[in-house]
Chains A and B, each alone.
Chain A
Amino acid sequence: GAVVSQHPSRVICKSGTSVKIECRSLDFQATTMFWYRQFPKQSLMLMATSNEGSKATYEQGVEKDKFLINHASLTLSTLTVTSAHPEDSSFYICSARGVGILTEAFFGQGTRLTVV
């Protein structure tokens, strides 16, 4: 299957700082990328959908000024958690899809964020 690379896999940051997570599609053009958050023993919760070259669409309850998403190219999307707080500690996962309705969505490896 297609490869989606997410970096870093783990990050620990101090409260109040910002953290950037990168998601790259390595062997296909990802017209759409999704960012999810998963708390322990819970399902994946969609945070936002980003299409290359346009502003991200955020799910209800997700602060767009806190979770900055950039999808500047067909192979790269970034999520920046600004002014991180301990409650932002979670597993963040990106997913990428190519063109067309009948295409798979592939996941990156996930980023374990711990805010101390």
Chain B
Amino acid sequence: QKEVEQNSGPLSVPEGAIASLNCTYSDRGSQSFFWYRQYSGKSPELIMFIYSNGDKEDGRFTAQLNKASQYVSLLIRDSQPSDSATYLCAVVLSGGYQKVTFGIGTKLQVIP
């Protein structure tokens, strides 16, 4: 089982809709979770950081964490064409070095 699993997509949503991106992880001891956005040929950009169960909102973005289900999601409201990118879920693994491990990323396409 992969440490962090994401559907690679592409996920296509119309402009203005809500995009829902999902991620599951295997390390039950993980405590910190990130969502990054990566445009083609560019480095990942941090969007959200969450470590408590429940929802965390920042502008059009909402991260949701459920540690019991080992599930973290990202909702993007009012999706814009500029949101089209690959969204990477990252998890800080428990253990001495606290490695940050990434999922394969979900490619999001927002259709104008």
Contacts and interface: CB of A to CB of B under 8 A. Distances in A.
Interface in A38-58: 42-44, 46, 49, 51, 57
A109 interface: yes
B102 A44 contact: yes
Q: What is the predominant secondary structure among interface residues of chain A facing chain B? A: strand
B57 interface: no
A102 B31 contact: yes
Contacts of B88: 43-44
A78 interface: no
Given A44-B88, A49-B97, A95-B100, A110 B51 contact: no
A105 B43 contact: no
Chain A interface residue bracket vs B:
20 to 34
B99 A49 contact: yes
Closest 6 CB pairs of A and B: A110-B43, A43-B104, A44-B102, A107-B43, A105-B100, A49-B97
20 contacts: A32-B98, A34-B99, A42-B104, A44-B44, A49-B99, A51-B97, A91-B41, A93-B43, A97-B98, A97-B100, A101-B51, A101-B98, A102-B32, A104-B46, A105-B46, A107-B36, A107-B45, A109-B43, A110-B42, A112-B41
Interface of A: 1, 6, 32, 34, 36, 42-44, 46, 49, 51, 57, 91, 93, 95, 97, 101-110, 112
